[in-house]
Structure 1
Amino acid sequence: MKLLTFRTLRSLRLSGRGYLFLGTTLGALMLGTAARADDDIVSRMEQEMSRLQAAQAHVQEEQRAINHDMAVLKAEIARHHASGSSASHASAPHDGQLATARPDARSDVHAEHGERITTASARRHGLKTAEAPQFTATPGEMTAAAGAEPVRGAVARRDRVSLSPTGRGVIDTDKGSELAVVGHRAEDVLVHFAENGVGPHPRETLGAQSAGAVGDHGVFHLGPVTLMLGGFVDTAAVLENRHVASDTFNYWQDMPYPNEPRYHTNNFDGGARYSRLSLLARGNINSEATISGFFESDFGAGAVTTDPYESNSYSFRLRQAYLAYDDNKEGWHFLGGQAWSLLTPGRAGIVARQESLPETIEASMLAGQTWSRQWQVRIVKDFFHHRLWTGLSIENPATLYDTTGFSASNGAVSMPNGSTVTIGENGVGLTNDTANFSNEIAPDVIGKVAYDPVWGHYEMEGILHFPHDRVTMGNTGHNNTAIGGGAGGSMILPLISGKVELRMAGLAGWGINRYGSVLLPDTTLKANGSPDPLFGVQAQAGVIAHPNPRIDVYGYFGTQRVGHSYFNENGSSYGYGNPGYSNAGCLQELSTLSCTANTRSVSEITIGGWWRFFKGKFGTVEAGTQLAYSRRQIWSGIGGDPHTSMSQIFFDFRYLPFQ
């Protein structure tokens, strides 16, 4: 271009035509160069505009997701305000976090903050929906094992729970709506449950508290181990029309007949001795297996120095202390230590801290209730996605002997044929030296099968018990072992899921009566000194309703009955329920006639309710009241078979700081 320009200038000189040609040529060259530059700039600008438009669309999508989440939260807040509750009241299974999810749309959750998170917002938080938990909860009941209030209106099913290192996460699917996640921090969950319409314990109910529910407030993480506090401060009282000096723990066999002045006096008794402390420690071995340890205690024991006149210093006692291993993938569950007996009716699967216990205030729960807390080694296997459960347990034996008619001291019973039968020994060392500890040759063997179909929870169980003693005649003797046992079952029917349920349970057999609340005798003695197991039946039924998240009401009927076995020798009567015993003095105050009064049956009917009137970050404060009527009947003897009865009203206040 330079060469052309100079040559052109020389050839054209300064003529007008030359200047015109020069200007035209230079302008064309400059315009062409500028046009090519403009094309590159426009191309780059168009690319940038496309990128900005895509970014704007992404931001708009995020904003729509945020607006949706805010709308869901507002709806939840409005629903809770409308129900009179300032905080959600979730319930969870005994050992893990319940969740509900559609198989085609799953999410993860930030459970600690109680968020509702849609699938879109889960992606926004960096959560992969394909990796979300696949656990579902029962309709209206999303619970933590020790429970919290049902999430009303949820239509869901439960299959399994995700075991993250923190043990948190719950998924809730509302019918007809897109997937949403309701997070409730509930650390006491681990074991998978199949949907049965019943669900684990609502956390605040007394049934959950009695079973050992832990809280979701007092939670501490020490590396891979999680520590969870539970328990409550309790103040309870009872007003009754008979004087039975057993506080709020009913000892029905001591219910007096009119021959005793205390039959004619009212009695008021109150205390805080059933305040409770518990601690659950849990560590995740991997995503499907955990190991845990549970400890629970209260002040329900009375030492020799305990009295009501000064310090009321009731003894700190062990309720439960056990370790547990759960492998949810393979379906194996192991428990060892002191826990509720496998005979105790359950609520979901065969899982510790999910025992089905009455919501009653009385510490002895209910006449006819089957239970015991004792040492055991238990192994459980579940099948078919946690719907069918089988369990086998060996448990500490303890035979309750009745020695009416015999002369007995420190476990030694004198027989009419001159022999001596040793059935036990009074405690020594660190055991109670005023109580007799029975001879036992083998542990009780208990088996159970539990089934959770789509509606209800059903159980069948059986037990073998081996009463054992030694008969000594002169300087020689021999041992005797009897075989006792029985069978029973229980069921929970969700009449209105999350609102009303019907519970029924029963056990019948020989030598198994100490597993009932009334503590009727297991065994008496035959004429040859060998153990003679007594037949017995224990049963209870109740209706429990949750009209709203703050109120629980209940009504129960329970009964326990025992058979009789006796013999007569040398003109004297022996055994249990012998018609030769005298009951002639039972109806006359301070009568000089005898009132043997071997208990035949005890029945109880009771109604009551609980109101959680404060609930928030500080925990839960609840009040309860209960009316109970009990009736005791005796085996017929000389003078007939009169009965006695007792009416009671209970009051209770509890502060649960961890729930």
Structure 2
Amino acid sequence: MRLSLGCILALALSVLPALAAAGTGANNSSADAKSTAASETKTSPETTAKSEASAEPAKSGLDLEVEELREQLQAQSELIRQQQERVQALEEQLKVSTTTLREGLSSSPAAKPANAAAGLAPAAAVSATAASATVAAAPPAAPPAAPQSTNAPPESPLQLRVGTAYITPVGFVDFTGVWRNHTGGSGIGTNFAGIPYGPVFQNNLSEFRFSMQNSRIGFRVDALVKGAHVIGYMESDFLGNNPGNVAVSSNSNTLRSRLYWVDVRKSAWEVLGGQTWSLITPGRTAISPLPGDLFYSQDIDVNYQAGLVWGRIPELRLVYHASPKAALAVALDAPEQYVGGSAGLGSSSNPPITLPAAFASNAAYSLSATSSEFNNGATTLNVPNVAPDVIVKLAFDPASRFHFEVGGLERQFKLWNPASTTKLSATGAGGFINLGVGLFKGFRLLTNNFYSEGGGRYIFGQVPDFVVRTDGSPSPIHAGSTVSGFEFTHGNASFYGYYGAIYVLQDVITDTTGKLVGYGWVGAGASSSQNRTIQEGTLGFNQTLWKDARYGALNLMGQYSYLTRSPWSVASGAPRDALLNMVFLNLRYTLPGGAPNLER
């Protein structure tokens, strides 16, 4: 284009002198003829005007054409300059857009090409526009559009959006190995109340086991509904009730429900309903149902730590967040009056409590039947509970490294005596104080303490809720527990140590026959499952081998525990304590994902 314009300009300049000379002679002759004719005719107004105009220097037609050509050349030069600037700006914008696209596509699969989002034409259209500018003038080029921001946090590759709700898969894949120097007979979860001792094969043989049962699968749903943050949470594992031959040829482990709840929070108020971690479970921060905000130890053992107070049961919860540093909650938990038979606490041949003689053969008070007035470990959902358990908790977080909570428990028990046809009731109560303090970066001390009469169900069922008096009424058992220790995180590794303990007081009654019954009595025929203390010391680590926000994390975990059990009474010549050493190793792959940003 520049070459063509140069040729035209050179040609025009070369013919200008000749055209100017020819034009001068012709104009002079014409002027003489016109002046003669003018002298012979009458002067008119038009002629007068022309005469006045001719007084000024006249421009020839060729001069006008040359001047017009020069103006066109100047206009074209200006257009060329503008187009060059626009093309240069577009090239710079395309470079920036390409870089932005590469970064955006790596973090957000929904990112659009930067040039399309900014309204830019493709390269072919740019060339066509530049070419057409030599014919018609174009408006000044618009300033380049700013590149799209890539500062937003990358979404999980597994996160789905349905309407205004976000669905995020949660869970991990576990491969667990456990070795015990005595056979616990309970898989990868330890029955603290029933570790073996004495002249039995379980106490004289060790055990080793691989398992994937602790693997988790679930999802959470987040949405904003009329200004309220709604969370739906589901989580399952494979620790359900298994058939007797599950480990022979194909480990068809049973899927089990862990958590199924919905939580709605608006401003300072929060309501939760469903199967959740009970409000009585110690927290790490504030009052929250999310697993990451709770303390249930970092143990690999799926039954956690002896002495831990917890439950995963149906609950209705109301929370008032007075401020980011204080919250008050009250919950109604699904009740279950319990006398033993779970987590190693007794059996039909070694009962956890001793009944008075008048009720020893009464089906309503049976310690082994599948239909009874209390849960004996075999009654499933047949227990006639009276009312929900009431739990209250007050939590304070004055600083990021300090968490304190205090609360209480109230329970109701009721039995019916078939002999007297009377209803007999009792009230259970308890309290807890939990504290977590960060002494310095990465290092945290914690202590969780619980004491109750009739709250044994919440100490992982290691203590019966009550014994039965001679009139058939319930008598709540007094018991306390603690889990205290430290947690330390440094780089990609974390270390922890806990001491857990349970202490159960005696509740001994003299039967009408003169025999001692209840819990914790000493003498011939006493049950060795009526424990006085259960203690466990644990050390462990969790090493992150690899982690990426888009693809998940791989961790290697280890745990060593030393467990003791001391009954109130043992057989003559039997050891006073049962001892157990345990080693756990676990390889875990955690799915990527996290809570979505609903404000985007």
TM-score under structure 2 length normalisation = 0.70
Structure 2 partner of 1:607: 539
Counterpart contact for 1:427–1:433, Cα < 8 Å: no
Query: Structure 1 residue 401 and structure 2 residue 339: aligned?
Result: yes
**Cα 1:298–1:402, aligned 2, differ >3 Å: closer, same or farther?**
closer
The code of the aligned residue for 2:481 comes to Q
Structure 1 partner of 2:295: 356
Give the superposed CA RMSD: 4.7
Distance 2:252 2:348 in 1: 35
Structure 1 partner of 2:153: 183
Structure 2 partner of 1:646: 580
Counterpart contact for 2:528–2:568, Cα < 8 Å: no
1:479 to 411, 423, 439: 423
Q: How does 1:396-475 map to 2 (within 5 A)?
A: 396-401=334-339, 415-417=356-358, 420=362, 422-423=364-365, 426=370, 434-435=378-379, 437-455=382-400, 456-473=402-419
**Residues 275-299 of structure 1: CA deviation (Å, up to 9, x unaligned):** 221122233214x313232221111
Distance 2:310 2:568 in 1: 25
**Residues 30-50 of structure 1: CA deviation (Å, up to 9, x unaligned):** x9xx99xx99x99xx99x999
**Cα 1:554–1:184, aligned 2, differ >3 Å: closer, same or farther?**
farther
Distance 1:405 1:369 in 2: 19
**Distance apart, 1:529 and its partner CA:** 1.9
Query: Structure 1 residue 519 and structure 2 residue 457: aligned?
Result: no
**Cα 1:445–1:537, aligned 2, differ >3 Å: closer, same or farther?**
same
1:622 to 551, 555, 569: 555
Total equivalences in the alignment = 500
State the SS of the aligned residue for 1:467. strand
**Residues 405-442 of structure 1: CA deviation (Å, up to 9, x unaligned):** 999999999633579583586269xx999346543211
**Residues 129-149 of structure 1: CA deviation (Å, up to 9, x unaligned):** xxxxxxxxxxxxxxxxxxxxx
**Distance apart, 1:111 and its partner CA:** 12
Structure 2 partner of 1:331: 268
Distance 2:212 2:347 in 1: 40
Structure 2 partner of 1:373: 312
Distance 1:610 1:242 in 2: 25
Distance 1:112 1:513 in 2: 53
Structure 2 partner of 1:309: 248
State the SS of the aligned residue for 1:253. helix
Distance 2:242 2:376 in 1: 9
**Residues 209-244 of structure 1: CA deviation (Å, up to 9, x unaligned):** xxxxxxx44211222232221222222121111111
**Distance apart, 1:24 and its partner CA:** 8.9
Counterpart contact for 1:62–1:124, Cα < 8 Å: no
**Distance apart, 1:619 and its partner CA:** 2.6
Counterpart contact for 1:421–1:472, Cα < 8 Å: no
**Distance apart, 1:478 and its partner CA:** 0.9
Query: Structure 1 residue 547 and structure 2 residue 547: aligned?
Result: no
The code of the aligned residue for 2:338 comes to L
Which piece of structure 1 moves more, 559-568 or 277-286? 277-286
Between Structure 1 and Structure 2, which shows a larger proportion of helix residues? 2
The code of the aligned residue for 2:507 comes to S
Structure 1 partner of 2:211: 271
Distance 1:369 1:300 in 2: 19
**Residues 100-153 of structure 1: CA deviation (Å, up to 9, x unaligned):** xxxxxxxxx98999xxxxxxxxx94678xxxxxxxxxxxxxxxxxxxxxxxxxx
Counterpart contact for 1:397–1:442, Cα < 8 Å: yes
2:224 to 271, 284, 292: 284
**Distance apart, 1:259 and its partner CA:** 3.6
The code of the aligned residue for 1:657 comes to L
Q: How does 1:135-284 map to 2 (within 5 A)?
A: 183-185=153-155, 216-284=156-224
Distance 2:359 2:160 in 1: 64
Counterpart contact for 2:306–2:501, Cα < 8 Å: yes
Q: Which runs of 5+ in 1 are unaligned?
A: 14-21, 74-86, 88-108, 114-122, 128-179, 186-215, 583-593
State the SS of the aligned residue for 2:484. strand
Counterpart contact for 2:172–2:589, Cα < 8 Å: yes
**Residues 463-492 of structure 1: CA deviation (Å, up to 9, x unaligned):** 10112211222xx41111111111112222
In percent, how many aligned pairs have the same letter?
21
**Residues 259-315 of structure 1: CA deviation (Å, up to 9, x unaligned):** 4342222221221222221122233214x3132322211111223444433333332
Query: Structure 1 residue 528 and structure 2 residue 471: aligned?
Result: yes
The code of the aligned residue for 1:464 comes to E
**Cα 1:310–1:412, aligned 2, differ >3 Å: closer, same or farther?**
same
The code of the aligned residue for 1:359 comes to Q
Counterpart contact for 2:193–2:529, Cα < 8 Å: no
Structure 1 partner of 2:508: 566
TM-score under structure 1 length normalisation = 0.64
Counterpart contact for 1:248–1:363, Cα < 8 Å: yes
**Distance apart, 1:634 and its partner CA:** 2.1
Distance 2:377 2:558 in 1: 37
State the SS of the aligned residue for 2:305. coil
